[in-house]
Amino acid sequence: MSFARSLFGTTRTRAYVGATTVRATFSNRTPLSFRILQAHQARYLTEHARSAIDNAIKSSSVVLFMKGTPEFPQCGFSRATIQILGLQGVDPEKFSAFNVLEDNELRQGIKEYSNWPTIPQLYVNGEFIGGCDILIAMHQSGELAELLEKANVLVPELVENAETK
Amino acid sequence: MSGSGIASSHIEAVIRERLNSTHVQVDDISGGCGQAFEVIVVSPLFTGKNVLMRHRLVNAALKEEISAIHAFTQKDYTPEEWEKKQQQ
């Protein structure tokens, strides 16, 4: 964890803090719909939730739905995913994280939206990439580096450094 | 969430039955409460499918089980890939 963090130091943290403010989108929903959703254990997506998630996914090139925040992940899988994105050199300017623990509608809705049962979930340029297991596998095989480079979401200095090596 | 514990043997049986699996390994990593599992699935159904499609197959087969537990992590191989991995 300290390794991933030390790659970028404060720049990264600051950008991540900026990224977390995007979460406010989800705090604006009415408490009533939230309660109804819980009461019925709804398994469908409300229009509101779907459009909020649409907007969330469009908010940055790299979007992570996670438990906790990048600074304080509240689940080992979310933590591992943040570490991988850090090691890969994802540009914090192009990254947003949404904390599903802060919003139950998002927590349930994102599972339906992506047709994916677990958190974290990663989107790159609007496309669902996968959860933690997939990111670990793609990280190890080199596919993730390729995908992120093609998507043009890596920190520019790191790309230059890599080329001079 | 208490009382929704699921046995490893149940997960294994479901995978064998629904995924035509030749080898299944289910580890209960919850420390006994039946809420967290790590599975290895070997199945010919994975041939020609990328990692995302494989995971979607397994997720679909275990839809109810996964929604009832806290953590689920998987590794999916074709029989050929698994054999190669065993030889390493």
- Please determine, looking at this structure, whether the domain spanning B8-87 carries the CATH number 3.50.50.60: no
Confidence (pLDDT) at B55: 97
**Stated pTM of the model:** 0.77
Q: Give the strand pairing for B71-77 and B36-42.
A: parallel
Can you give the residue ranges of every domain in chain B?
A: 8-87
Give the mean pLDDT of chain A.
78
In what side-by-side order are the strands of the sheet with B23-28?
B23-28, B36-42, B71-77
Residue A103 φ then ψ, to 5°: -150, 110
d(CA B75, nearest CA chain A) in Å: 7
Is the pLDDT at B31 greater than 70? The verdict is yes
| Rounded Cα–Cα distance for residues A58 and A126 (Å) | 6
Residues of A contacting chain B (CB within 8 angstroms): 77, 115-118, 128-134, 137-138
Look up the ipTM and state it.
Answer: 0.82
Question: Distances from the Cα of A26 to the Cαs of A14, A48, A53, A65, B6, in angstroms?
Answer: 21, 10, 9, 12, 33
Is the pLDDT at A47 greater than 60? The verdict is yes
Confidence (pLDDT) at A164: 57
| Rounded Cα–Cα distance for residues A11 and A86 (Å) | 12
Confidence (pLDDT) at B4: 56
pLDDT digits (tens, 9 = 90+) for A11-37: 333 334 334 434 434 443 434 444 444
Domain A2-164: homologous superfamily in CATH:
Glutaredoxin (3.40.30.10)
Range 15-54 of B in CB contact (< 8 A) with A: 51-52
The share of chain B scoring above pLDDT 90, in percent, equals 76
Of residues A38 and A56, the one with the higher pLDDT is A56
